[in-house]
Amino acid sequence: MKLKTKYSLSFVLLALLLSSCMNETAVEPNTHRGNFESLWKIIDTRYCFLDYKNVNWDSIHTVYSAKVDTVKGELRFFDMMGSMLAELKDGHVNLYSDFNESRYWKWFTDYPDNFSLSLIKSDRYLGEDYLIAAGFKYKRIANGRIGYIYYESFADGFSDNNIAYIMNYFSGCTGLIIDVRNNGGGSLDCSKQLASYFFQQETVTGYIRHKTGYGHSDFSSPVAMKTPAHKTIQWQRPVVILTNRMSYSATNDFVNRMKQSPLGIIVGDKTGGGGALPLSSEIPNGWMVRFSSSPMYDANMQSTESGIDPDYPVSLRVNDEANGYDTIIERAITLIK
């Protein structure tokens, strides 16, 4: 799964503009101590969820500062720095070097998979004769009555022509299923574009704020994030979105948008979250750190960082899987019928 997410250029430029108004801190020396202090300071002044997650970053400094002078070698030093970042429990936080990349995975590994790729590729669902348009794998299922789309990554772009053909192919279906389980994200532009085909009017579906100072809660006023209604392509029947914990980042954004669609129904497990725009910075030795910078909210100004609850919580049952049934897809079929 790719978590190096491509985001809307307009959001990035706005975040950079706001952050440029913040005074630059002194450059630390390229030593273990200097690199540690630099990394800690970047998170302290620019990470957006310290207060939201009740992280005592000063205490974490005390714990890891005591280890800096005893760590020998770059590999162990990198691991120590990665462990400090893991205290944030954020899948958008990574440390990059020439030899490794730190990551935090417990946001999904501590939960059931609720997904089986081999199962959805069985003859009951996609089979071997499914169609492919851009990043979409699609087929008519349930005796041809329901359209099913599996979309693996929002990093896979698509065009209006792709969507127009798919919707025309499903024109005789009573409903549509879009499966974004195990979709780790990608482009926010793709998220907004895909959602736009399921809205009949432009709708405020969320908000974003940007860091304006070094304080943990120094943010701009909320900026509305709108989902437009596509002018010529609109699906006007039920659409069910299938989710699990690995529905993350831009996928989380798509699910949040679809929560506001009058046609949308969310089925499956709670999404993994990743409700923030990430930015990157560099420490003195050249290592790069990526971190959540601009928090995102739903239409009720509730943070989406911890994930989005489905309308219908459904888990993949072992007995169903053994018999060739995907419990979550089957529930979606029942809801559409």
Is 219 strand, coil or helix? strand
**Number of domains, the chain:** 2
Whether residue 93 lies inside any domain: the answer is yes
CA distance 133 to 254: 19
145 and 262 in a single domain? The answer is yes
Token pair of 102, please? 């730190």
128 and 55 in a single domain? The answer is no
Whether residue 187 lies inside any domain: the answer is yes
Does residue 97 or residue 1 have the better pLDDT?
A: 97
Whether residue 218 lies inside any domain: the answer is yes
Question: What share of the chain has pLDDT > 90, as a percent?
Answer: 92
Whether residue 111 lies inside any domain: the answer is no
Is 184 strand, coil or helix? coil
Q: Report which secondary-structure segment, H or E, holds 264.
A: strand 264-268
Is 15 strand, coil or helix? helix
- Characterize the bridge pairing of strands 203-208 and 175-179: unpaired
pLDDT score, position 9: 45
* Torsion angle of C-alpha atoms 254, 260, 261, 267, degrees rounded to 10: 70
145 and 238 in a single domain? The answer is yes
What average pLDDT does the segment 196-212 reach? 98
Other beta carbons within 10 angstroms of residue 224's beta carbon come to: 10
What average pLDDT does the segment 163-185 reach? 98
241 and 287 in a single domain? The answer is no
78 and 130 in a single domain? The answer is no
* Torsion angle of C-alpha atoms 162, 168, 170, 174, degrees rounded to 10: 130
253 and 218 in a single domain? The answer is no
pLDDT band with cut points at 50, 70 and 90 for residue 305: very high
CA distance 154 to 81: 30
pLDDT score, position 26: 62
Q: Say yes or no to pLDDT of 87 above 80.
A: yes
pTM for the model stands at: 0.91
12 neighbors 276 (Cβ within 8 angstroms) = no
How wide is the angle at C-alpha 237 spanned by C-alphas 232 and 240, nearest 5°? 110
54 and 184 in a single domain? The answer is no
| CA 327 to centroid of chain Cα atoms | 24
Q: Say yes or no to pLDDT of 94 above 90.
A: yes
Give the tens place of pLDDT for each residue, 232-285: 999 999 999 999 999 999 999 999 999 999 999 999 999 999 999 999 999 999
Token pair of 243, please? 């989710």
155 and 168 in a single domain? The answer is yes
pLDDT score, position 15: 47
**What mean pLDDT is reported for the chain?**
93
Q: Say yes or no to pLDDT of 2 above 60.
A: no
CA distance 152 to 20: 35
pLDDT score, position 27: 84
pLDDT band with cut points at 50, 70 and 90 for residue 88: very high
Is 274 strand, coil or helix? coil
**HSE-up of 71 (CA within 13 Å, CB side)?**
20
List of residues 6+ apart from 12 with CB closer than 8 A: 277, 279
279 and 141 in a single domain? The answer is no
CA distance 163 to 136: 9
Max CA distance (Å), the chain = 68
195 and 215 in a single domain? The answer is no
What average pLDDT does the segment 88-98 reach? 98
91 and 149 in a single domain? The answer is no
93 and 191 in a single domain? The answer is no
Concatenated DSSP letters of 223-242: EEEEEPPPSS----S-EEEE
Whether residue 248 lies inside any domain: the answer is yes
Token pair of 24, please? 């630059």
- Which residue, among 273, 246, 276, 274, has the nearest Cα to 153 in the 3D structure? 246
Query: 56 lies in which domain range?
Result: 1-104+207-224+274-301
